[in-house]
Amino acid sequence: MEPIIPAKVQESIDHFAKKDVYIHLETTNGAYASHFDEKFFSAGAYIRNANIQYEHGKIVGEGPYRVGLKLPIGWVYAEGLTHYGFDERGRLLLAGHDYDGKLAVALEIGEVPFK
């Protein structure tokens, strides 16, 4: 994974537009957040291998970045993205790593399902 280069990511988002794609979308503050700080409200969500098609998508911001994908009748959204890369199956991997190196958000797009 490398620090995001918006143009590269935009190119990849464009490549996957109007195709049947699988996405992994995740936010997390870690399962122990409320254990270490009882005042912390722990929340997170993930969806894996959701099969979608989006009309177009954009990466926006100065870093950390935001990505939005416009669906025929809905949206996919992620914020806090810092790094990007591609896996061996050509899938776009976007992640937001916090200052301690912990993953806070991930958005991944590919034409083959994730394992």
Partner 1 sequence: MEIEKERQVLVVFPHPDDEAFGVSGTLAVHIKRGTPVTYACLTLGEMGRNLGNPPFATRESLPDIRKAELKEAAKAIGIKDLRMMGLRDKTVEFEDDQKMVKLVADLIEELKPSLIISFYPGFSVHPDHEATARAVVRAVRQLPDEERPKLHLVAFANNTETDLGPADIIHDVSDVFEHKMNAMRAHISQTAWMLKEMEKLLAVNDEETVQRVKFERFWLYDWAKDNVSDIED
CB closer to partner 1 out of 20 and 115: 115
Closest CA to 26 of 79, 72, 65: 79
Q: Is 11 helix (H, G, I), strand (E, B) or coil?
A: helix
38 DSSP assignment: T
Are the C-beta atoms of residues 107 and 94 closer than 8 Å to each other?
yes
* Least distance in angstroms from the C-beta of 55 to partner 1: 25
CB closer to partner 1 out of 26 and 76: 26
- Residues 74-113, one symbol each (x = binds partner 1 by CB under 8 A, - = not), give --------xx-x-x---x-x-x-xxxxxxxx-x-x-----
Are the C-beta atoms of residues 46 and 76 closer than 8 Å to each other?
no
Place of tokens 């926006």: 60
| Footprint of partner 1 (CB under 8 A) | 1, 3, 24, 26, 28, 30-32, 35, 38, 46, 82-83, 85, 87, 91, 93, 95, 97-104, 106, 108, 114-115
